[in-house]
Amino acid sequence: MCDYIGLDVSQKETTISVRREGQRVWRGKCPSDPQAIAMVLQRRAPDARRVVFETGPLSVWFYHALSAEGLPAICIDARHAKAALDMAPNKTDANDADGLAHLAEIGFYREVRVKGYDSMLVRTLVAARRRLVRVSTELSNQIRGLMKTFGLIVPGAKGGRFEAEVRRLLGGYAGLEQVLLPLLEAWLAVRARAAELGSQLLRTARHSDACRQLMSIPGIGAITATSFTTAIEDPENFRKSRSVGAWLGLTTRRYQSGEVDYDGHISRRGNAHLRGLLYEAATVVLTRTSADSALRTWGLKLRERIGFKRAAVAVARKLAVIMHAMLKSGQSFQREAEATA
For the chain, the domains span 3-106, 117-207, 210-340
Distance CA 149, CA 135 (A): 22
Res 337: pLDDT: 55
Res 341: pLDDT: 44
Range scoring the smallest mean pLDDT among 40-49, 156-165, 267-276:
156-165
Segment 115-135 shows an average pLDDT of: 94
What is the helix (H) or strand (E) element at residue 23, kind and residue range?
strand 23-31
pLDDT > 70: percent of the chain: 98
Please check the confidence at residue 141 and state whether its pLDDT lies above 80.
yes
Please check the confidence at residue 269 and state whether its pLDDT lies above 90.
no
Nearest CA among 242, 253, 267 for reference residue 323: 242
Distance CA 322, CA 320 (A): 5
Mean pLDDT of the chain: 91
pLDDT > 90: percent of the chain: 76
Segment 306-315 shows an average pLDDT of: 94
Segment 173-179 shows an average pLDDT of: 89
Higher pLDDT, 79 or 101: 101
Q: How far is CA 325 from CA 145, 170, 186, 319, in A?
A: 46, 54, 43, 10
Confidence of residue 211 (pLDDT cuts 50, 70, 90): very high
CB 327 within 8 A of CB 212: no
Res 134: pLDDT: 96
Range scoring the smallest mean pLDDT among 44-53, 176-185, 329-338:
329-338
Please check the confidence at residue 338 and state whether its pLDDT lies above 60.
no
Query: Sheet holding 73-76: strands in order across?
Result: 23-31, 13-20, 3-9, 48-54, 73-76
Segment 114-126 shows an average pLDDT of: 92
Nearest CA among 292, 326, 288 for reference residue 212: 326
Res 80: pLDDT: 84
CB 170 within 8 A of CB 180: yes
Higher pLDDT, 261 or 300: 300
Segment 282-309 shows an average pLDDT of: 90
Res 333: pLDDT: 83
Segment 201-226 shows an average pLDDT of: 93
Segment 53-64 shows an average pLDDT of: 94
Q: How far is CA 25 from CA 44, 98, 101, 280, in A?
A: 9, 11, 11, 53
CATH of domain 3-106: 3.30.420.40
- pTM exceeding the 0.85 threshold for the entire prediction: no
For residue 35, give every residue at least 6 positions away whose Cβ sits within 8 Å of its Cβ, in sequence order, or none: 65, 69
Confidence of residue 336 (pLDDT cuts 50, 70, 90): low
Confidence of residue 264 (pLDDT cuts 50, 70, 90): confident
Distance CA 197, CA 203 (A): 10
